C-alpha cells in the first residue's frame, strides 16, 4: 500500500479508531536500531564464515537473534540501495535508482514516503547518524524532510569517502572538524593529512546520546556507517584508501596497508557495536530494542592496487562483488535481535530484501499496514508466528555503462539480463548452485520466459533512470 505523506496522519487516526483494530498504543512499541555497514561483504563477519577478521559483537547479534542466509540489499551500489531501504520499493519503482551527480536524480521528493516517516507519524522519535546520500541541504531529499527528526553525518556520498572529513552536518548546519583536509574534487572529498577525529567514532558517540535522550519514548535510530568503504580519492592518488585511526592487532602483519586497514575498520566497527549494546543494557533498553545489522551492498574492490576482496574471502561462497548483480554484489548479512521475541541462534532461509524493512517495522511499531508487492513484513518469520508471505520475485537494475537487470524468481531461479543485444538471458539455479557457476537457461525455457516478462514489466519509467543498452565507454564511479 502506498501512502501519501499528507494523508498519513489521517490514516493512522482511522486505524486507531476502527472497530476490531487495536490502537497502536495498545502494546509497547519496541525501539529499533538499524545498523547499516557500507560495502561489507557477505563473508566479512564471523557468523557468515569469516576466519581472519574477528567480529564477536556482530556474531553475538546472531547468537541472540536470527541470521538470514538469503537476504538481499536494495541495490549493488550505495544510493539506490538506501532508496529501496527507505521507501520499501524495489529498484524498478523507487525514486533513486543509481549514483548520479545529475540534478534531482539522486534525491527523494516530498511525495516519497519513508520508513522513518511512517514511524515518526506513529509516535517514534527518529534519528539518523552517518551516511545519507539521498538529498542535500535545502532539497526535498534532506533527512529532516524525509521523516528523521535528527540527523548528523554526511549528506553527500562522495563527501562520505573521507573517514577524516573537515566537516559534517547536524540537521542543516555545517559542523567544522579539526581534520586538515587535502581537497580533491568537490563536496569535501579528498583525504586528511591531520587526522584528529574519525567519522564513524563520532557516529557511535551520537548514537549513544540519541538513545539516552529518547530512552523514555519509542525511537527509531539508523546508524549508517561509512566502514569499510574505501576513500576512493585516496586510493586513486596514494594507493591506500582504507582509512582508520590505527591498525589495531593487525599493526605488525606483513600484509599491504590497505588490507590491514580493511580488517582494522571492521574490527573497530564491531567494538563500537559492543559498546552500544552495553549502553542499551545500562539504560535497561536491551530487551525493549530490536537491533538489525546489515550492509548496503557486496564488498568493494576500491582500496588501491594492493587491495583485493579475495584476501579475506569477502563474498564467501558467492560470485561477484559490488557493482555485480550476481549474489556477491547484492546478497548481504542480515541479522535481527530482539530478546524475548526472536529465538536465539535461529537461522532463516527466508528470501527477503531491503524493501521488506518498511512493512516489517511498520508492523512492529503498530503503524498502518505498509505491506504490498514490493514490501512484505517478515514479522511472522522473526516471531515464528503465523504464515509468512513470500515474494513471487525480487528485481534489481544497475544503471552504469547501460542497464543491467536481475531477477530472483521463487527464491530459487536467478536471471541476469543479456550483456549485449541478441545475447541470451543467463539463468542460475541458486538452490543447487549458490556460486552461480552453471548457466542452465537452455534447459529451462519456461523459466527464462517468465524472467523475460518480469524484466520488461518490473521497470516503471523514471525521468532519470531508463533502460538503456550498454555503452562501450566505462561509466564513472561516484560512490
Note whether residue 462 is domain-resident.
Answer: no
Domain boundary among 365, 393, 421: 393
Contact residues for 45 (Cβ-Cβ < 8 A; gap 6+): 53, 55, 58, 59, 266, 270, 333
Are 328 and 413 in a shared domain? no
Q: What is the mean pLDDT of residues 445-464?
A: 96
pLDDT per residue as tens digits for the range 244-253? 999 999 999 9
Residue 277's SS3 state is helix
**DSSP annotation of 286:** G
Q: What is the pLDDT of residue 16?
A: 37
The verdict on pTM exceeding 0.85 is yes
Q: Are 117 and 146 in contact (CB under 8 A)?
A: yes
Q: What is the mean pLDDT of residues 383-408?
A: 96
pLDDT at 426 over 90: yes
Q: What is the pLDDT of residue 14?
A: 36
Name the one residue in this structure whose C-alpha cell is 555503452. 471
Show the beta-strand stretches assigned E in 318-469: 334-337, 346-348, 352-353, 393-399, 403-409, 413-416, 426-429
Note whether residue 60 is domain-resident.
Answer: yes
Note whether residue 430 is domain-resident.
Answer: yes
Inter-helix orientation angle 199-213/257-282, to 10°: 10
Domain boundary among 367, 393, 419: 393
CA distance 346 to 2: 32
pLDDT at 476 over 80: no
Q: What is the pLDDT of residue 419?
A: 80
Q: What is the pLDDT of residue 420?
A: 80
pLDDT per residue as tens digits for the range 135-154? 999 999 999 999 999 999 99
Query: Quick one: 258 exposed, middle or buried, by C-beta within 10 A (0-12, 13-18, 19+)?
Result: buried
The CATH code of the domain that includes 407 is 3.30.1120.10
Q: Are 211 and 291 in contact (CB under 8 A)?
A: no
Residue 50's SS3 state is coil
pLDDT averaged over every residue in the chain: 92
pLDDT per residue as tens digits for the range 189-201? 899 998 999 999 9
Q: Lowest mean pLDDT: which of 12-26, 38-52, 70-84, 320-334?
A: 12-26
Note whether residue 295 is domain-resident.
Answer: yes
Is the C-alpha dihedral spanning 42, 48, 54, 59 positive or negative?
Answer: positive
pLDDT at 179 over 70: yes
pLDDT at 307 over 60: yes
Q: What is the pLDDT of residue 414?
A: 98
Domain boundary among 347, 365, 393: 393
Quick one: pLDDT band at residue 470, thresholds 50, 70, 90? low
Number of domains in the chain: 2
pLDDT per residue as tens digits for the range 39-92? 999 999 999 999 999 999 999 999 999 999 999 999 999 999 999 999 999 999
Are 69 and 121 in a shared domain? yes
Note whether residue 5 is domain-resident.
Answer: no
Are 353 and 419 in a shared domain? no
Q: What is the mean pLDDT of residues 122-138?
A: 97
Quick one: pLDDT band at residue 400, thresholds 50, 70, 90? very high
Range of the domain at 398: 394-457
Q: What is the pLDDT of residue 469?
A: 65
pLDDT at 27 over 80: no
CA distance 220 to 362: 11
Q: What is the mean pLDDT of residues 327-344?
A: 98
C-alpha cell of residue 279: 549502553
The alpha-helical segments, DSSP class H, found in 184-303 are 199-213, 232-238, 257-282
Amino acid at each position: 500500500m502506498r501512502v501519501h505523506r499528507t494523508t498519513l496522519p489521517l490514516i493512522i487516526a482511522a486505524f486507531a479508531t476502527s472497530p476490531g483494530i487495536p490502537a497502536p498504543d495498545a502494546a509497547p512499541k519496541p525501539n529499533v536500531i538499524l545498523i547499516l555497514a557500507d560495502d561489507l561483504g557477505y563473508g566479512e563477519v564471523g557468523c557468515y564464515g569469516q576466519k581472519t577478521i574477528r567480529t564477536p559483537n556482530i556474531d553475538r547479534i546472531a547468537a541472540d537473534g536470527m541470521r538470514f542466509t538469503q537476504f538481499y540489499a536494495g541495490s549493488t551500489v550505495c544510493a539506490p540501495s538506501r532508496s529501496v531501504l527507505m521507501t520499501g520499493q524495489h529498484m524498478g519503482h523507487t525514486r533513486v535508482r543509481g549514483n548520479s551527480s545529475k540534478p534531482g536524480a539522486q534525491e527523494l521528493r516530498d511525495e516519497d514516503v519513508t520508513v522513518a516517516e511512517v514511524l515518526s507519524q506513529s509516535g517514534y522519535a527518529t534519528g539518523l547518524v552517518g551516511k545519507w546520500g539521498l538529498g542535500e541541504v535545502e532539497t526535498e531529499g534532506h533527512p529532516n524532510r524525509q521523516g528523521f527528526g535528527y540527523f548528523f553525518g554526511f549528506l553527500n556520498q562522495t563527501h562520505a569517502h573521507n573517514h577524516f572529513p573537515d566537516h559534517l552536518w547536524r540537521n542543516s548546519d555545517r559542523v567544522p572538524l579539526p581534520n586538515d583536509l587535502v581537497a580533491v574534487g568537490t563536496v569535501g572529498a579528498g583525504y586528511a593529512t591531520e587526522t584528529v577525529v574519525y567519522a564513524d567514532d563520532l557516529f557511535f558517540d551520537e548514537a549513544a546520546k540519541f538513545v539516552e535522550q529518547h530512552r523514555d519514548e519509542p525511537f527509531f535510530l539508523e546508524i549508517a556507517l561509512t566502514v569499510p568503504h574505501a576513500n576512493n580519492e585516496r586510493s586513486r592518488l596514494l594507493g591506500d584508501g582504507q582509512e582508520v585511526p590505527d591498525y589495531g592487532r593487525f599493526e605488525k602483519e606483513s600484509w599491504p596497508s590497505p588490507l590491514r586497514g580493511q580488517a582494522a575498520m571492521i574490527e573497530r566497527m564491531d567494538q563500537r557495536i559492543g559498546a552500544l549494546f552495553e549502553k542499551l543494557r545500562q539504560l535497561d533498553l536491551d530487551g525493549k530494542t530490536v537491533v538489525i545489522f546489515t550492509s548496503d551492498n557486496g564488498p568493494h574492490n576500491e582500496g588501491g592496487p594492493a587491495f583485493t576482496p579475495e584476501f579475506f574471502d569477502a563474498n564467501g561462497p558467492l560470485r561477484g562483488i559490488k557493482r555485480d548483480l550476481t549474489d556477491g554484489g547484492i546478497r548481504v548479512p542480515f541479522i535481527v535481535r530482539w530478546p524475548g521475541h526472536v529465538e536465539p541462534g535461529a537461522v532463516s532461509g527466508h528470501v527477503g530484501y531491503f524493501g521488506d524493512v518498511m512493512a516489517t517495522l511498520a508492523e512492529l511499531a503498530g503503524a498502518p499496514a505498509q505491506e504490498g508487492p514490493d514490501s512484505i513484513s517478515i514479522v511472522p518469520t522473526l516471531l515464528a508466528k503465523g504464515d509468512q508471505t513470500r515474494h513471487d520475485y525480487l528485481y534489481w537494475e544497475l544503471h552504469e555503462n547501460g542497464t543491467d537487470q536481475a531477477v530472483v524468481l521463487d527464491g530459487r531461479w536467478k536471471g541476469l539480463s543479456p550483456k549485449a543485444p541478441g545475447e541470451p538471458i543467463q539463468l542460475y539455479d541458486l538452490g543447487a548452485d549458490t556460486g552461480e557457476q552453471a548457466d542452465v537457461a537452455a534447459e529451462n525455457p519456461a523459466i527464462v520466459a517468465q524472467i523475460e516478462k518480469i524484466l520488461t514489466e518490473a521497470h516503471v519509467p523514471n525521468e532519470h533512470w531508463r533502460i538503456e543498452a550498454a555503452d562501450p565507454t566505462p561509466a564513472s564511479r561516484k560512490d
